[in-house]
A and B are shown apart, each in its own frame.
Chain A
Amino acid sequence: MARVEFINANLAIAEGVMAAGLRFFAGYPITPTSDLFEYLAVELPKRGGVVIQFEDEIASINAVIGASWGGAPAMTATSGPGFSLMLEGLSFAIMTETPLLLAYIMRADPSTGVPTKSTQADVFQARYGAHGNYEIPALVPWSAQEAYELGAKALWVAERLRVPTILLSDATLAHTFERVEFVPVRRAERKKPRVPPEEYRPYEPEDDLVPPMASFGEGYNVMVESLTHDERGYYAPTNEAHRRLIWRLVEKVRRNWRLIHDTKTYYMDDAEVAIYAYGSTARAAYAAVKELRREGLKVGLVRPTALWPFIDEDLKRAVGGARRVFVVENNIGLMYKEVARALRDKEVVSAPLIDLELPTPDQIIEVVKEWRR
């Protein structure tokens, strides 16, 4: 059997990404993320990787981008304030199709908020925070075990699709210790060029819309271009080139959603009522569902393991025949907007339960029962 440890989700992420082949980490200390950083600082050099603490989050993400172009699976980790500083670099990574993993450990609310406490306030920040039109994946674990597995998967997705990928965890999970089994994971690998350097064009996609990626130092004279560029990487300020690039960057992620998504359902076979919940809040929702079932209510749980890209058809399949859907989240009701839009034919109810610890099963049970009357 694989090694088992009793660790929190942050350390589980660190183990998952190392198993997937992480070689570079750059970061800046921030609560509740620092133990992930500190753990990698001990462990990654032992496996031939490099960990550097930078002067700020801006430098951190740009160093990750540089390392990624050096051919190394690379990541950073931060929380809300740090993520705000990283947005410029994130946009750059999106435009240049740079694989990287950004572990985003959400904490409580605007500005400094409550650094040690949890909410799910930043699910839209993860989707829309940076400037420009884009679509990037955001995976969302609900346990330490899943943090291990999705950490590895997010790094794999980043490399496979040549896209910055977010692993969206939260302070609750960062402080939750669980049994984690270091199950085998896929190694993160990018598509390499199959043509000689003189024929290689760094932004020319294959059928899956993902361009093979030559790294620095391999003789391809690659061009990392932050301006709108053509397939060679040359500045191309024309409508035609711009549309072609932007739509491909977006469609690359949307069309390959099956490589990213794995929406889980619990007690949904005969469910008349569904609870849509994700991350740590889904743990409370799962407890609520079990309890409501014991009382004879036909309630199920729909739990996405990726919030973005938001795929309507995947959600519709998961919700199935349920007539009413409660969207339970530890924020002011953000994903509700997407769920309600996707499920226009159903009754979708927002249950925003802002709680510095975690919404409780009792709160959720109360919401569901309230609507039953």
Chain B
Amino acid sequence: MRKEVLIFGRGGQGILLMGHVIGVAAAKHAGLYVTSTESYSSEMRGGESRSDLIIADSEEELDYVKVRNATDVIAMYPPRLGLYEHLIGEGALVQFDTSFNIPKDTLRPSWVKVGAPYTRIAEEELGTPRVANMVALGHFVRLTNFLGLEAVEAAIEEVVKKRWIEINKKALRRGYDLGGVEESLLR
């Protein structure tokens, strides 16, 4: 198994935290090998924010530290898809936050396009858009099925500040309940 996961969005959406939680879950709680880099522009909010993760079940499968042919993508801010399109492989599972516009022209036919309005769900059901990232992450766990929900919960408990743990876990489970690929396909 070898996954190249690309998460991108805007500053303030908690992109780097998503990457870190996946990394901790994979490395410490799922027995997988992980390499991760992150990049962000200096503005705290609204700038570029991107997390790259290479996840494999053997160390030999890790090489270059950045995503080249993403197998799994979380587009937390789809309007910027064009900036990352060249990094996404054929047949990739691309997961969109449908609270935003999706640039239809950029989509490739081979991709499996899934998603849900993570930001809206977070806002309306959980009371804050700040946990949209965890809703998306819960959905990611369900869609990709290579990290156990328990592993990700354990990572959240380790990484997130104590008073935010419960709401984050709640958001995670909400995302998980959004269903598998079949139920989540974009039309």
Contact = CB atoms under 8 A, between A and B. Distances in A.
B63 A179 contact: no
B64 A361 contact: yes
B64 A177 contact: no
A287 B34 CA distance: 15
Interface residues of A, number: 23
A175 interface: yes
Majority SS at the chain A contact face: mixed
A280 B35 CA distance: 12
B38 interface: yes
A283 B63 contact: yes
B80 interface: no
B51 to A, nearest CB: 10
B32 interface: yes
Interface in B149-174: none
A5 B35 CA distance: 12
A176 B23 CA distance: 11
B44 interface: no
Interface string B14-45: 00000010011011100011111110000000
Contact of A176 (B33, B36, B59, B63): B36
Contact of B64 (A5, A145, A178, A287): A287
A254 interface: no
Give the one of B24, B32, B64 with max A CB within 10 A: B64
A175 B63 contact: no
Contacts of A178: 27, 33-36, 62
A143 B23 CA distance: 15
Interface in B113-151: none
A283 B23 contact: no
Contacts of B64: 283-284, 286-287, 358, 360-361
Contact of B36 (A177, A358, A360, A362): A177
A176 B24 contact: no
Contacts of A160: none
A358 B39 CA distance: 13
A187 interface: no
A2 interface: no
A172 B65 contact: yes
B87 to A, nearest CB: 11
A179 B65 contact: no
A284 B28 CA distance: 25
Given A283-B64, A358-B65, A175 B28 contact: no
Nearest to A145: B59
Interface string A143-178: 101000000000000000000000000001001111
A124 interface: no
B149 to A, nearest CB: 18
B27 A176 contact: no
Interface string B52-76: 0000000100111110100000000
A329 B48 CA distance: 28
Contacts of B65: 172, 176, 280, 283, 358
A114 B20 CA distance: 25
Contact of A179 (B32, B37, B38): B32
Given A175-B38, A177-B20, A6 B66 contact: no
A4 interface: yes
A283 B32 CA distance: 19
A262 to B, nearest CB: 16
Given A177-B20, A179-B27, A6 B63 contact: no
B37 A6 contact: no
Interface in B88-129: none
A286 B20 contact: no
A127 interface: no
B28 A4 contact: yes
Contacts of A286: 63-64
A232 interface: no
A346 interface: no
22 contacts: A4-B27, A5-B27, A5-B28, A6-B24, A6-B34, A176-B35, A176-B36, A176-B65, A177-B35, A177-B36, A177-B37, A178-B27, A178-B33, A178-B34, A179-B27, A284-B63, A284-B64, A287-B63, A287-B64, A358-B64, A360-B68, A361-B64
Given A143-B35, A358-B66, A360-B64, 11 more contacts: A6-B26, A145-B59, A177-B35, A178-B62, A283-B63, A284-B63, A284-B64, A286-B64, A287-B63, A358-B64, A361-B68
